[in-house]
Amino acid sequence: MRTAKDFFAPLAVGAPAPVREIPARPSRAIHFFDPGNPKMAAKVPEMVGTVDVLLGNLEDAVKAENKEISREGLVKIGQETDFGPTQFWTRINSLDSPWVLDDLTTLVPAIGHKLDVIMVPKVQGAEDIHYVDRLLAQLEAKAGITKPILIHAILETARGVANVEEICGASPRMQGISLGPADLAADRRMKTTRVGGGHPGYLVRQDAAPLAEGGYDFTGQRAIFQQDLWHYTMARMVDACAMHGIYAYYGPFGDIKDTVACEDQFRNAFLMGCVGAWSLHPVQIKIANQVFSPSVEDVKHARRVIAAMGDGTGAVMLDGKMEDDASVKQCKVMVDLAEELAAIDPELKARYDAIVLD
Ligand SMILES: CC(C)(COP(=O)(O)OP(=O)(O)OC[C@H]1O[C@@H](n2cnc3c(N)ncnc32)[C@H](O)[C@@H]1OP(=O)(O)O)[C@@H](O)C(=O)NCCC(=O)NCCSC(=O)C[C@](C)(O)C(=O)O
Ligand SMILES: [Mg+2]
pLDDT tens for each residue of 209-259: 999 999 999 999 999 999 999 999 999 999 999 999 999 999 999 999 999
Give per-residue pLDDT as tens, 27-59.
999 999 999 999 999 999 999 999 999 999 999
Q: Which atom of ligand 1 is nearest to the CA of 279?
A: 23
**Residue 233 Ramachandran class (φ > 0 left, ψ -120 to 50 alpha, else beta):** alpha
Ligand 1 center to 278 CA (angstroms): 12
Say if ligand 1 is within 6 A of residue 120 CB: no
Answer yes or no: is the ipTM higher than 0.95: yes
Kindly give the interhelix angle for 100-111 and 67-80, rounded to the nearest 10 degrees: 10
- State whether the beta carbon of 182 lies less than 6 angstroms from ligand 1: yes
| Residue 221 CA: distances (Å) to CA of 40, 86, 209, 214, 305 | 49, 51, 9, 18, 44
**Closest ligand (CA of 40):** 1
- Residue among 275, 48, 36 at smallest CA distance from 152: 275
Q: Could you report the per-residue pLDDT of 172-214, keeping only the tens digit for each?
A: 999 999 999 999 999 999 999 999 999 999 999 999 999 999 9
Environment of ion ligand 2 (residues, CB < 5 A): 156, 180, 183
Distance 35 CA to ligand 1 centre (A): 11
Whether 181 lines ligand 1, by a CB cut-off of 6 Å, is yes
- Give the pairing type, strands 29-33 and 277-279: parallel
The predicted model scores a pTM of 0.97
Which atom in ligand 1 lies closest to the alpha carbon of residue 183? 57
Specify the amino acid at residue 194. Answer: R
C-alpha–C-alpha distance, residues 290 and 51, integer Å: 11
Question: H helices of the chain, where?
Answer: 38-47, 67-80, 100-111, 126-143, 158-162, 164-168, 181-188, 231-243, 259-272, 282-291, 296-308, 325-342, 346-353
Nearest residue CA, atom 9 of ligand 1?
Answer: 281
